[in-house]
Structure 1
Amino acid sequence: MFKGSHKPAFSNDASLQVENHGTAQYPFRLNFYDKPPLYDVTIEDLEICALDRLRILAEIESSAARNRSWEETKSFTMAQCSKYLPLNANSARTDLHSERRKDHLGHFVLRLAFCRSEDLRRRFIKAESTLFRIRFETDDGQERRQFLSSREFRWTAVDNAEKEKYKAELKANYQGFRNEDDKERAFAQENYYKVRWTRVPDLVEKRKVFLKGGWAYVPSRDQSSIAYQEFEDQLGNALQMTAKALPRLDEDNRLLPILNNLSQGFVAGVSSDWVAPSSEGNEDQVRAEMVDELAQKHFPLCMRNLHQNLKKDHHLKHFERLTYGLFLKVLGLSVEEAIIFWRKSFVGSHVKDDKFNKEYKYNIRHSYGLEGRRANYPAKSCQQLLMAESSSYGCPYRNFSPENLQSALLSAYSSQGLTSSDLPEIMQTVSARHYHVACTRVFETTHAKSGVKRGEGVGAGESVTHPNQYATKSMEMEKQRKDSMDVKAEMEMEVDL
């Protein structure tokens, strides 16, 4: 299945196309993923397919952690799907085979990544079930009916005699009708299906079905609940089987690092593909003397913590310096300004000029790609910080005790509008291990005066997934606010003249 070549994995196979623009292998947009992919694929494409799907699932989990409504969750998820994992109906004039093949492969790769613990399996099932439900609700009506007809859901159609026998009980679930005649007409047009009550626990919990002799009488308007539960049950069983087979992959050193990286994605969040903007030609270049003020206004807690430790101790350990230095580099601090910044920051420590020039200056230039391998090192992402071996330069939301975290948040952001009343919600997301969501909520709260609303994140509902993403967005918003104030002041001066 997996090859190391660079052959494209998703070539358009004309033999699989059918007249309705669907495919013989994937006749429907909806999929229960009963059959594994049995074709060759490159490692590169395997990773891309899985990561793009993981972005969608991370957005779904983020929506749940942020208590978004169902319509909000559906809206944000569909926006992410159109960007990373489009999946069109058969009537669309697109390469449906490639879309559905990518969807199919990504799902099975993530099965391998998330089958290895009970917690990962539970989270994967919940996110995948939500994605299936969103696709089900947004699917073409005719294609959805064809999909349901193509599968054996083990339901029994209720005939007219049985429907009439329990008429009073079945009509009791009809709500919102203005009069009895409207309710009678709706009942006459409704079809019912019998399934064992254990297959529709959500409908039973909400008292939306009539129960008799262990059977649940499900109206056609709630038929989707049977499909949802069937999807969850089959996926749960499949993950158990995958977990038993996974040890066979232990010797494949190509695949395991990818699976480990993917499973960590739920912890850090991968709902954004943020890329640092180019600093070339930037008139607002960051200078050494600006860093302290920027830290007070715009830095996320991880970088703010490193900055405060540097001010207090006049020194940082190697990986702390590397993490903070790369963050400042991507923020726009040139290598010349970086040398000035670190030299001033070390004043008062044991690091003298001679030692600084021999050791630290070389490391700074090395991180900018001017020494050694001359590689352009990127700044650390939230996922990398969450997996850091040392808590001194990792994510405070994960590494700090609850008491220390709350104190640090109030100390860092009280001047920007964060109050003790905001802490319970933030700490709730921390205790649920949604660390990037907690950081995003802090951003929303501290930028409320700039017009950021709850749920907007750092733009278009995106969660924070990179420290530079947080700082860059904060700085952009302040610049926009100042530009707006300047324009307003100019207009007022023109009126006075």
Structure 2
Amino acid sequence: MEIVRSQRKTSSVDAIPILPLYRSAPTIEVRLEDFELFAIDRLRVLKGISDGLSRGKKSEEMEKLVTDLWKTHMRHQCASEVINKDIISHFVLRLVYCRTEELRKWFLQMETALFRYRFRLEILDAQRALMGEFDLPCKQVSNSEFEVLKEKLGQLSRSIAQPLPTADTVFFKVPFEEVPDLVSTRRVLIVKGYAYVAVNQVVSLVVTHFRSLLSKALVLTNRKWTSTISGQEKDRLTPIVEALSTSYLGPDYSQPKEFVEISIKDIDQVANTSFPLCMRHLFDKLREEHHLKHGGRMQLGLFLKGVGLRVDDALAFWKAEFSQKVGAERFDKEYAYSIRHNYGKEGKRTDYTPYSCQKIISSTPGVGDHHGCPYRHFSEENLRAALGKMGVGGRAVEDVMDKVRNRHYQLACTLTFEAVHGTSCDAGINHPNQYFSDSQKILQSKNNTVT
């Protein structure tokens, strides 16, 4: 796959089925802009799937979710280019997610889930064509063999609440080790080392092979990335690839929108009602210790900027706290510049953006630091205490802790939001400033209802 800057229409890929198997990178030229944009669109799909799975959506709900996500994000203005966008985006994200064990694990899980639901949505002829592409070790059961096993297959169907098989039901005979998930849940008949898999269950066989091939491919891609690609492309593709795995894909919170500004006199009240746990912890530590290290100042300072604290008020707020520990003169000399810098008033005049959840989660706070994501970095005891201070208790705390143990930190924050505000948050929390904005909307709506 060659990356180019010039505009060029790609050729059609006639030999590839509707659902690609991604065995080799396409030999087509890709504009640098499409390289990144296609990957971001696919990443939106995978993150949507991740959120759906984390929330425990049922199989039918996941099928609808995947269909909606695909239609929304993987469209192309030229219908003939949709297949190319599909393949290109997959291989770009292979580069992005091949680089560490944790990234590979997440990508493998999400791509396998995407493949599973897309395969299930294909018509039977397309499914058979894909099975042929995989050269799977399976054989269709003949009518005579079906008649011999009909009674046992019927007993199995009744035990798993499936329709009874008929002469028209297609079964495949495969070595039992090829469908471990069906065997472990006792959803197939096993005779002499072979599992008898109904056509509506064959997705398990196909997905097992897809996952195995992709897992091996990610390891090989990592070797190639480490040995050659990252060095050769250090000035062009490498920065894009390294940034994509922590990309924030939601709205821009560099400037407040719904809520024009907050003042110093309001800040304690809104911190108590509308700050997410990560920012409330930093705010409390600042009030307690009258100081934060650089990581904490950046994380909290940009958040406050995004929720509408003006630069003059920000300077006054930070000075009031820091001067209690380092003195007003030292604050003006060592700290005021960086605050003005965050607001684009110094240096390159860059309008810095508040940190997203992904960036905060991926940070590595050291001893004495208070930034980062509490759901990831706190001990269980400290996290339970912090949630209690926010008014989260009972079953809600256990639900949050369950998500934390499974490393679903943003979903843990979402559950906290729902418990604090007594309402659902279907979109999930992806940014601290989104938490604040959604909280303020709910509180204002409740106030308007009361009045």
Report the TM-score when normalising by structure 1. 0.80
Residue of 192, 202, 220 corresponding to 2:199? 220
Match of 1:473 among 429, 438, 446: 438
Matches for 1:130-149 after TM superposition, within 5 Å = 130-139=113-122, 143-144=126-127, 147-148=130-131
Q: How does 1:147-166 map to 2 (within 5 A)?
A: 147-148=130-131, 152-166=135-149
> In the TM superposition, what is the alpha-carbon distance from 1:112 to its structure 2 partner?
2.6
Partner of 1:399: 377
Q: Against the structure 1 CA distance between its residues 49 and 284, is the aligned structure 2 distance closer, same or farther, given a 3 Å change threshold?
A: closer
Is 1:168–2:146 an aligned residue pair? no
CA contact (8 A) 1:171 1:187 kept: no
Q: Which residue of 2 aligns with 1:90?
A: none
Answering whether residue 229 of structure 2 is matched by residue 249 of structure 1, we say yes
Q: Distance in 2 between matches of 1:284 and 1:263?
A: 32
1:482 is aligned to 447
Secondary structure of the 1:207 match is coil
Distance 1:303 1:470 in 2: 10
Tell whether the 8 Å contact from 1:315 to 1:345 is kept in structure 2 after alignment.
yes
Alpha carbons 1:326, 1:380 under 8 Å: kept? yes
Partner of 1:103: 86
Larger relative contact order (Cα-Cα within 8 Å, sequence gap ≥ 6)? 1
* 2:133 is equivalent to residue 127 of structure 1: no
Whether the 8 Å contact between 2:254 and 2:354 is mirrored in structure 1 is: no
Does 1:344 pair with 2:320?
A: yes
C-alpha contact 1:326 1:367 (8 A) present in aligned 2: yes
Distance 1:376 1:99 in 2: 36
Distance 2:124 2:143 in 1: 25
2:265 corresponds to which residue?
289
Report the Cα distance in structure 2 between the residues aligned to 1:273 and 1:177, rounded to whole angstroms.
Answer: 42
Q: Distance in 1 between matches of 2:150 and 2:321?
A: 80
Which residue matches 2:22? Answer: 33
Deviation of 1:264 after TM superposition, in Å, equals 4.8
Per-residue displacement from partner, 1:440-491 (whole Å, max 9, x unpaired)?
A: 111111111xxx23xxx3xxx33322111111111111122223333xxxxx
How many Å separate the matches in 2 of 1:285 and 1:118? Answer: 43
RMSD: 2.9
* Residue 2 of structure 1: how far off its partner (Å): 4.4
Structure 1 pair 71/485, CA: closer, same or farther in 2 (3 Å)? Answer: farther
| Structure 1 gaps, min length 5 | 17-22, 88-93, 487-497
SS of the aligned residue for 1:251 comes to helix
- SS of 2:190's partner is strand
Change (3 A) 1:292 1:59: same
Please give the residue correspondences for 1:225-236 in structure 2 after superposition, counting only pairs within 5 Å.
Answer: 225-236=204-215
1:64 alignment counterpart: 53
Match of 2:415 among 413, 438, 441: 441
Matched residue pairs, number? 444
Distance in 2 (alpha carbons) for counterparts of 1:359 and 1:120: 38
| Corresponding letter in the other structure for 1:275 | D
Residue pair 2:246, 2:359 contacting (<8 A) in 1 also? no
Q: Which residue of 2 aligns with 1:91?
A: none
Give distance in 2, aligned partners of 1:159 and 1:440.
52
- Looking at structure 2, the residues matched to 121 and 297 of structure 1 have their Cα atoms a distance apart, in angstroms, of 38
Would you say 1:363 and 2:338 are equivalent positions? yes
Aligned equivalents of 1:218 and 1:198: distance in 2?
A: 12
Q: Is the 8 A contact 1:12 1:98 kept in 2?
A: no
Gaps of at least 5 residues in structure 2 are none
Structure 1 residue 329 displacement after superposition: 0.9
* Cα distance change, pair 477–177 in 1 and its aligned pair in 2 (3 A): closer
Aligned to 2:288: 312
Cα deviation, 1:357-392, whole Å, max 9, x if unaligned, reads 454443322221122211111111122222334342
Q: Which has the larger Rg?
A: 1
Match of 2:87, as an amino acid? H
Superposed CA deviations along residues 154-198 of structure 1, whole A, max 9, x for unmatched, are: 4212222222232322332232999xxx95xx5122122222122
Instruction: Out of 327-336 and 356-365, give the one that drifted further.
Output: 356-365
Give the C-alpha shift of residue 202 in structure 1: 2.3
Asked whether the 8 Å contact 2:278–2:372 carries over to 1, the reply is yes
Q: Distance in 2 between matches of 1:276 and 1:77?
A: 28
Hey, what's the Cα distance between the residues in 2 that align with 1:428 and 1:128?
24
Change (3 A) 1:251 1:172: same
* Partner in structure 1 of residue 356 of structure 2: 381
Structure 2 SS opposite 1:173: helix
1:147 CA displacement: 4.6
Q: Secondary structure at the match of 1:195?
A: strand
Q: How far apart in 1 are the matches of 2:444 and 2:15?
A: 52
Q: Please tell me whether the aligned partners of residues 363 and 372 of structure 2 are also in contact (alpha carbons under 8 angstroms).
A: yes
Identity score, percent: 33
Partners in 2 of 1:36 and 1:209 — Cα distance? Answer: 36
Native 8 Å contact 1:114 1:124 kept in 2: yes
8 Å Cα contact 2:287-2:321 kept in structure 1 = yes
Q: Is the 8 A contact 2:252 2:353 kept in 1?
A: no
Deviation digits for residues 388-421 of structure 1 (CA, Å, limit 9, x no counterpart): 343422222222222222212212x11xxx1144
Q: Summarize deviations over 1:35-62 as a string: whole Å, max 9, x none.
A: 2122222444323322332232223223
Per the TM alignment, residue 294 of structure 1 is displaced from its structure 2 partner at its CA by 0.6
Letter in 2 for 1:249: I
Cα distance in 1, alignment partners of residues 28 and 326 from structure 2: 61
* Distance in 2 (alpha carbons) for counterparts of 1:470 and 1:61: 19
1:372 correspondence with 2:362: no
1:300 aligns to what? 276
Q: Tell me the distance in 2 between the aligned counterparts of 1:410 and 1:129.
A: 38
- Aligned residue in 1 for 2:251: 274
8 Å Cα contact 1:410/1:420 also seen in 2: no
Relative to 1, partners in 2 of residues 1:76 and 1:345: Cα closer, same or farther, differing over 3 Å? farther
* Aligned equivalents of 1:162, 1:322: Cα separation in 2: 69
TM-score by length of 2: 0.87
Q: Pick which of 235-244 and 211-220 moved more.
A: 235-244
Compute the displacement of 1:318 (Å).
3.4
